[in-house]
């Protein structure tokens, strides 16, 4: 095993010489979905994010620390995404991914999910050199899909996002015990998960400035920055995406972020190198 459960997180920081530091993986979600999302990634100049491979804009993403934003749902009327593979349990009547997690979890067969996730990882490898895995909307929280996710992370040697707690992530209670067990056994570090997505846009700047008060530890902050363009604003949740973008472009927020050690999944992957089973 690479690193044992929760202990692995401290061991990892020690190995990176960051034991007493405040360490931040600042992560751009949903790249490849729209031009506006990609444009914000370029404009912000922050290296870490993950790409929705079924998205039409995926081939245009270029960056230093990109992962695969494994996709099994497509929640908007448009842009709407289709699976790469033929699995009937992964698509609605019109051939698109289901629009809700509930619909996905009711229908999805684990073997069809595995085939699709492998296809997305292998398609990503033809576009860029991925360093990590995470999932759109947390689609792999159903325990049998979490097992696939963690197994593929090892098979492809890509570090999976694993939060240090499942509280507040909207996991259906029946999933919790098995999911907790899988995560505890997974040989990967777990990160303190921060996500301002649900905050009202007008509180966004305050949220980012408030990071100044965090104690030492390994934090993972997911943001959804998108440019303020007509295409970007066609998404129903455009306001939260723009709020992330404006906050992360703000000089005061940049000053706060500069107090953290900026960690990449690439560095984590490198640190785990010896330990991949």
14: exposed, middle or buried (Cβ count in 10 Å: 0-12, 13-18, 19+): exposed
Q: Peptide bond before 79: cis, by omega within 30 degrees of 0?
A: yes
Binding its own copies by CB under 8 A: which of 39, 67, 98, 196?
Answer: 39
Cβ–Cβ under 8 Å, residues 49 and 28: yes
Closest C-alpha among 140, 71, 83, 154 to residue 110: 140
Active-site option among 29, 30, 65, 244? 29
> Closer CB to its own copies, residue 82 or residue 254?
82
Indicate whether 214 belongs to the interface with its own copies (CB under 8 A). Answer: no
Binding positions for its own copies, 64-103, rule CB under 8 A: 77-82, 84, 86, 93-96
Considering the complex, what minimum distance in angstroms separates the CB of residue 19 from its own copies? 41
Active site residue 244: no
Considering the complex, what minimum distance in angstroms separates the CB of residue 100 from its own copies? 16
Q: Strand 65-70 relative to strand 217-223: parallel, antiparallel, unpaired?
A: unpaired
Closest C-alpha among 170, 164, 223 to residue 192: 164
Closest C-alpha among 88, 160, 153, 82 to residue 118: 153
Number of residues that bind its own copies (CB under 8 A): 33
Active-site option among 69, 134, 224, 244? 224
Stretch that binds its own copies, among 23-31, 56-64, 198-206, 246-254 (CB under 8 A): 56-64
Binding its own copies by CB under 8 A: which of 13, 34, 240, 244?
Answer: 34
Which residues are part of the catalytic machinery? 29, 224
């Amino acid at each position: 095993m690479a690193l044992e459960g929760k202990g692995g997180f401290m061991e990892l920081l020690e190995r990176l010489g960051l034991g007493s530091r405040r360490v931040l993986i600042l992560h751009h979600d949903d790249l490849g979905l729209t031009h506006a999302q990609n444009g914000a990634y370029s404009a912000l100049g922050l290296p870490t994010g993950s790409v929705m491979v079924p998205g039409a804009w995926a081939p245009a993403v270029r960056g230093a620390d990109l992962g695969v934003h494994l996709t099994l749902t497509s929640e908007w009327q448009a842009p709407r995404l289709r699976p790469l593979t033929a699995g009937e349990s992964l698509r609605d009547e019109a051939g698109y991914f289901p629009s809700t997690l509930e619909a996905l979890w009711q229908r999805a067969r684990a073997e069809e999910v595995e085939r699709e996730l492998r296809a997305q990882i292998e398609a990503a490898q033809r576009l860029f050199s991925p360093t990590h895995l995470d999932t759109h909307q947390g689609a792999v929280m159903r325990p049998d899909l979490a097992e696939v996710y963690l197994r593929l992370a090892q098979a492809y040697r890509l570090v999976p996002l694993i939060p240090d707690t499942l509280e507040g992530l909207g996991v259906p209670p029946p999933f919790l015990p098995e999911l907790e067990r899988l995560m505890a056994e997974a040989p990967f570090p777990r990160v303190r998960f921060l996500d301002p997505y649900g905050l009202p846009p007008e509180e966004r700047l305050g949220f980012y400035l408030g990071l100044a008060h965090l104690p030492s530890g390994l934090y993972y902050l997911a943001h959804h920055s998108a440019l303020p363009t007509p295409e970007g604003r066609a998404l129903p949740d455009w306001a939260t995406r723009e709020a992330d973008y404006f906050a992360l472009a703000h000089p005061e927020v940049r000053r706060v972020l500069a107090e953290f050690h900026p960690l990449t999944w690439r560095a984590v992957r490198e640190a785990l190198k010896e330990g991949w089973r």
